Structure 1
Amino acid sequence: MTGELWKSIQERWRHHGSQMLGVALVATLVAWAGEWSGVLQDVEHIAYDRALVTFTGGRGLSSHVVVVAIDQRTLDGINQDEQLRTNFGNWPYTRTLWARIAQELKAAGAKAVLFDAVMDERASDESADLGFAQVLRDTGLPFYVGMVTSGTASPLPRADFTAAVPLTAPEAAPSPAPTDAPPADDEAFPEEFEDAPATATPTLEPGALARALAFPARRTDGGALPALRYRAQGGEWRPRYPVPPTTALVGSVTGFGLVDTEADTDGFMRRTHFAYSDGVNTYVTLPVRMLADLVGAKELTLSGRTLQLGERAWHVDADGSAALDYGGPLHERFTLVPLLDVLEDWIRRSAHKPVALGADTFRDKVVVIGGTAVGVNDIKATPFSPTQPGLVKQATVVDALLSGAFITRAPAGVDLGITFLVALVSAVLLMTARWTPLEVGWPLVLVLGLYGFTGLLLRTTQTHVLMAMPALAGIGASVAALAFNHLVANRETQFIRQAFHRFMEPKLVEQMIRSRQLPRLDGENKEITAFFSDIRGFSTFSERFKEDPRQLVRILNTYLTTVSGALLREGGCLDKYIGDAVVCLFGAPMAQEDHAVRACRGALAAKAAVEVLREDFRRKGFPDVYTRIGVNSAVNFVGNFGSDQLFSYTAIGDGMNLAARLEGANKAYGSVIMIGPRTYELAREHIEVRELDRVRVAGKTEAVTVYELLALKGQLDAATQRTVARYHEALGLYREARFAEAVAVLEAEAARAPEDGPTGKLLERCREYLEAPPEKFDGVANLEK
């Protein structure tokens, strides 16, 4: 048997090998076009994110980076402590606070500090800026501050990197030595906590400012650094320039780096560039600026796929960017220390008391300061969480620069080669085997295999191999192979035709065949719209023909054909006939986004067709076939219930039960077509309705609003519009238990439009309540079974 199978495969390859290669090549080209045009970008992002989380998460805490978090406990602690609030204010805090934090981090042995924020506004009390600057000079702690760019900022002249970094901020008065005594209730804080005396800050010359903010960066391979620019109205690209920091800090802060958001088109932070140009000067990101000092680098260079800082080099992508290897969400990757704890340790140290944080918490670590509390941090999306504090990016880049690696893209040739290989394997496998289980299972195996392969590469080599492009090529080749196979034998198509042609419109059956959407035997939950109709007084109707049942069958068949035809023309799927009742589904088995609108159109068409039939029956002396209709939209369980030999495609659920009850409830309201609240919500832009009442279904406590379907949008005549308006006016009075006023409105309208059923029914109810007021009235009617 195995030998015969192998011979069969060889024979098919010999006869159809060129078709297999052609299918693989076309599928590869289509997938490449999708990747090149950006159509696959969102899919690739999703695949990459999931692989990153699954295969690279759980790496544990970084040994090089600690995050000092401005968290909610810090905000509450400072706000609730009168002395802290007096000295530092509310968020954003005075720069005196950051001076104290810098002193404590220096004393705790921190290697460097990255402040993931900007300081581009001068403090209302300039002594705070000057005091902070003086502390930074006194401690010598490497302290780096972010800067952003803006299209409204002024351009700077070309920086002279041969000149020294300007030190123009005036010296602040030296801080007194800390007192030996701990803070007491009647003593605000040690004297060191007070701001330095105010001193006027000179204006920094633009050239000196450019020297302080810019950093030498270049590409040695002839490429260009990414431009700092934004798209203005009209689509024109315009440059962005750095927003200068507070002048007092220039020369005291060790360096400044860009902290602009670097997000993909979907808002997720996955990548970073390391240097930018505004056309005059070059600027590096904040982590790069810090690391340049730590490794003694005076310039950043990019050459091909290599980033160079001094003697250190990292592998990056050809465009000079790299993806971030997060390794997990913020709290799993980095030690988080509340800012309040650092501040309290400074107070203890100033009072010569033991500090609370461990001695190794900050020693030889890079400290990233940023917000994590709601309203303080900038919420960003990463592959690990859609709501991460923005500082996670800075911390991740610092960690990668210090000891790790970035995630880089595989060369385009590798991606294209894998794509063609996947397409070829798919085509050969399916076009030779022609085995139904393989045809069904191969796409899943293909996607899972690519997912595992790319995930393992991410984990072991920090290499991102595209998944969406080869997956699309493989699936495309599989579809083409299946199409080829089914040119020979299309048993599934024949099965669909035989199974559904009796209770679905032929064009829908053909659409199902084209889309290969065979309804599932095990069923599925999906939102659909159910249609129920019934003839008023059918028992009496049928008794007239007990001596001539064949005539009853002919009449009933004529009626059912009339109603069914109206529903099928709107794309409905006939569920069943229960005597004279018709049950129809919209939105299944074929998905229909406008299933509620289709059901409403079908109900109105069925009503109109029945009116014509009633007139014909009246002339022939047949009984009246006055029909009531219920329509309701809800999530129901739909599918083929039965066996492979005999099954019934139907739906079950509360939504179906409510549709049936709405059909019966028409009797109590004198209406013809009653629809549920979800149907109204979905189709309201396309239909004219009358709000009938709020009802409570038996077995349920929540009331729902029901409506009478009157016409399609814009097709309601003026007289009916007036009747509906008067009904709504009376309904409002009725719900307020103002029955006498409601009766007056309804009586006037009933005299004008005596044929309006809902007006008469509500009038009867108001008169009844007027004579015998209900004990507990909530304006909700109980809809019994």
Structure 2
Amino acid sequence: MRLTKRRLLTSLHYLGPLAILLGCIFLRWQDVPFVDQLRLSVFDTYQRISPRTYEDVGVRIVDIDERSLEELGQWPWPRTRLAGLLYRLRLSGAQVVGFDIVFAEPDRTSPARVVNDWPSGPDTDKIKALADNLPDHDALFAQFIRGTGKVVTAIQLTTKKINELPRQTGNFSVAGEAGRTLSDFIPVLPGAAKNLDAIEDAASGNALVNVSPEQDGIVRRVPLLAAIDHELPAIGMPVYPTLSMEMLRVLQDAPRTMNVRMSGASGSERWTQSQGIEAIRVGAVTIPTDHAGHMWVHFTGHQTDRYISAADVMNDALPSGSLQNKVVLIGTSAAGLLDLRSTPLDRVLPGVEVHAEMLEQMILEHFLTRPYWAAEAETIVLLILGLFFVLAVPRLGAIWPAVIGSSLALGAITFSWWAYSSQLLLIDPAYPLISLLAVYLATSSIGFMRTEGERRQVRSAFANYLSPALVEQLARHPDRLKLGGETRDMTLMFCDVRGFTAISEGFKSNPQGLTRLINRLLTPLTDCILRREGTIDKYMGDCIMAFWNAPLDVKNHAHQACESALAMRRALDELNTERQTEATNENSPFLPLNVGIGINCGDCLVGNMGSDQRFDYSVLGDAVNLASRLEGQSKNYGVDIVLGEAIAERVHNDFAILELDLIAVKGKSEAVHIHALLGDANLQNSDGFAFLRNAHQSMISAYRAQNWDAAAALLDQCREISRTADNAGPLNGLYDLYEERIRLFRATPPPTNWNGVFVAISK
């Protein structure tokens, strides 16, 4: 069952992220709206950071602005006024004039139409007869258009059905994509708002003014071609060019036939199997497009230098030669005429300026392009890097793939920006990177959940035995749970309950009570150790074995062990006080709990020891054995905490320590100095303890010099000082021991070569 679960988790670690990767690729090829919008937002950001630099190539906008409407009258103007405007433009040297206005309705200011609404009568009938002989304004306007030449009129494709097709002034030859027509790719609408026939017939060109925004209302691409799917008795769908492209054709005096090159045409660089339009050639200029014949507009942003007020033209207020050899678009920026658009650089921009920017790019042959291979290249990068994350994260962990992925992401963004700024290529780094982030997060999340599961198992198994630091380390690196060890400088502690046999006899009929008592004792003592970065090696009945500085480094581990021992003494005092109160309330006998603690330090072998089937993290070495023997000697010397010589040398400046003896413990031939730990730095720095330490050391020196009288006298002095020394505690047991030894040595003197060593015969 466990093996099956592990295999399932391993499979999920690969199959889950792989499914996300394939889902991201599927969404990319479906080109769902949010994917397209994300890509467009990146391109918008590039344009905002580095818009096209404005270069004056002679494109001007004659603007029917608010001032023109105030000075010359509200819109629509009489066609005679527009004829005068056109005349002045050509007289000023304008090469080509294009209207961003559709003249779909007859001019109501024509004399015959004005008097037609008058009531009949002798006088009005005469006026009507005279008006019929006056020139029609539309015919006069058409005459000016034909006479000035190089004028392009506008049509607006709509969703309304039509009764008559707009005039086609140009046509298209198509190269490539056998069996496909332009209408398979370009925008197709059912109808159009067209000019009056007389006006269309007089113009040199007739073109679209449709500026189609994206789904978010922002203009980024403009269709260069569009078709009408009409229901009229005509052959095929007529295709019309956009205003800027038709003005470019007229400006060049180029043939009416424009060449549309499809992605599969001879000479086109077809890297993939993508289909659609690749470019449109107008005279000497080739305009790259997307597959639907849209041109990407590289905006400069609103430029006032492009604009000339129509009022200035009509009032002859322009400087001489200001329109010489210029290409002029006539449009409006007046808000009431509703020809306003949004672009990546401008929230509100007159629609005619979009055509002006496109015409500037055509003249400059400066084009933004999104190459055909871009989508496939982005997908291939996504697939390769996605598979890298799927395979690498479970093996390498989350860090290195994240570092590599971050570097690749930075490289992709840098390449995309270089392609835009230097090559005018639009490469999308955003969607592949976001998709890769999703794959990486999925992979690392599954790995995290898998690792956390293993960590929970480790924490659950060891939390009650090891220090929190060790538990966390093992949780982070479960692989460390294997056989083996290392030599480290460590501090060891053994703690045992004194008189446990007598205590157990009181619980003969209540073993559960004895268990509760032991647990009640070991819990606070254990807490004192764990809080100071110690590790509980094992419990042996009423005995605790602990150590410091493995497997993690513990700064000042000898000090930490001594602090733990003093804290255990305080915790034991509190527990005995509670138990005595409980015994008094229950009218039951009270036996205080006392412990003996032995602490030593030195080099030890520490690690996982045991068999392949079962092992424990434990410690071995001579320092361990000595610590155990020191705990056993605590009862003999009448103190509760005994320190070995090595640890006493490390902590004697920070704790209150007295030398106990020079002893050869059982199992060792070499003698060591052992010490009693009486208190912390506060006691060590007190005057009372200083007196006690001096008197005690003098007593030890006299004892080892076999000066029994001096030693006995100093014993009495030490007893007296110990009673009054600040918190040193009574040392009667220790001094009784030395008094007994002195009495024995007086009766039976030691050998002449005796050096003060006491040989212990018990543990």
- TM-score category, normalised to shorter length: 0.3 to 0.5
* TM-score, structure 2 as length reference: 0.40
- Greater RCO structure (CA 8 Å; 6+ sep): 1
* TM-score, structure 1 as length reference: 0.39
Which structure has the greater CA radius of gyration?
2
